[in-house]
Amino acid sequence: MKTSLQISLLFVIMEISIENLPVRVHQCELTSCGLCNNVKVPSKENDSSDSTEVNVKNTCAKSGLPEPVVRFFQVFNPINWVKNIHDFLKYTIQFFEKPGWKTLSEIMGTDHIEKRPERLCPSDWDCKSHNLGLVQDTMGASCLVFFLPGCVGAYMALTGKMSHCALGGAVLSMFLAYVSSVSFLADYWYMGDKPDQEVPDCQKQVIFNKIDRVNVPIIGFVCSSIGLIQFLWARGMNWAYPLLFVVFISAAAVQYFSLDRFNHFARITYAPGYDHEQPCDEAAQALSFGLQMHIIWHILACIPPIVQMYGLMVYGLVLPSWLRCLSC
């Protein structure tokens, strides 16, 4: 347990730094936010007593760009890297002085959370109460599909079919496996609420959700950059990489529709008076569609790195002289 927490901390630090950076957003008076949307149960002061609608609005930066886009540029802004290194050292020392979930929760600023934020909807209870436990479990399993590129690389290495880029393929495989593990913990493993824990599952889910939100733009940038390099300088299959970019964009569109369905589910079930013991069909259909779209998003998004792994190991790269040191 200590080892896994220590490894997780190394990747958490970047998110801590990013979370502390100022992001100017429009004031929308919402109680919780999702990746692109916020969900709020209206208060009695602002709405009539018979209102049961839950409002969903987009969260955008002052520039008008979606918050995830702003976050992407924060991750790759060199000006922030000095601060990130300083925070890395500070929080690493703090963690190793007293390693454990409690310390990690305090570092991540989640120790005050007593119940799961609505932006992490759906919870385990949401899925079970709407008779979607099997779909939820399938979604959880789909989080692990990013181990497949590494499996492809390992198979090619063991069967002698690998000719190039062994080191690059191994590094990419390990990072994809790490991203897949964090996604599994954030989207599935900590969806429930196990009793009698010093640090409740809702805090653990928020911790890994924070990490996951940093991982996604990083791995997207890395795989897109590798795809561009392969398109320009691979020894073969150059035609495939623009198609893979289209596949990834399609996967992102599916993810958007998945989030839209989850928000629709939240509008219904987080409104005052909703009874989980007697769930309505519209909420169940929205949640089912959202979970199924989330599964498809994982599968589609995994196709590009699988093909890229194959291309790296079979065809390698012939880079120009100024990048010759990276050739494989």
Q: Could you report the per-residue pLDDT of 243-282, keeping only the tens digit for each?
A: 999 999 999 999 989 999 999 998 898 888 888 888 889 9
**Quick one: CA torsion of 215, 217, 221, 223, rounded to 10 degrees?**
50
Alpha carbon distance, N-terminus to C-terminus of the chain? 37
Task: Give the mean pLDDT of 145-171.
Answer: 90
Task: Give the mean pLDDT of 4-17.
Answer: 48
pLDDT at 4 over 60: no
pLDDT in tens, 202-218: 899 999 998 898 888 88
- In percent, the amount of the chain with pLDDT more than 70 equals 75
Say if residues 222 and 178 touch (Cβ distance below 8 Å): no
pLDDT mean across residues, the chain: 78
Give the pLDDT of residue 30.
34
Measure the CA–CA gap between 291 and 284, rounded to whole angstroms. 11
Sheet containing 37-40: give its strands across. Answer: 32-33, 37-40, 55-58
pLDDT at 53 over 70: no
Domain ranges across the chain: 114-321
Give the pLDDT of residue 173.
94
pLDDT in tens, 122-139: 899 899 999 999 999 999
pLDDT at 76 over 70: no
pTM: 0.75
pLDDT at 43 over 60: no
Give the pLDDT of residue 20.
46
pLDDT at 56 over 80: no
Say if residues 42 and 11 touch (Cβ distance below 8 Å): no
With cut-offs at 50, 70 and 90, classify the pLDDT of residue 74. Answer: low
Give the pLDDT of residue 73.
64
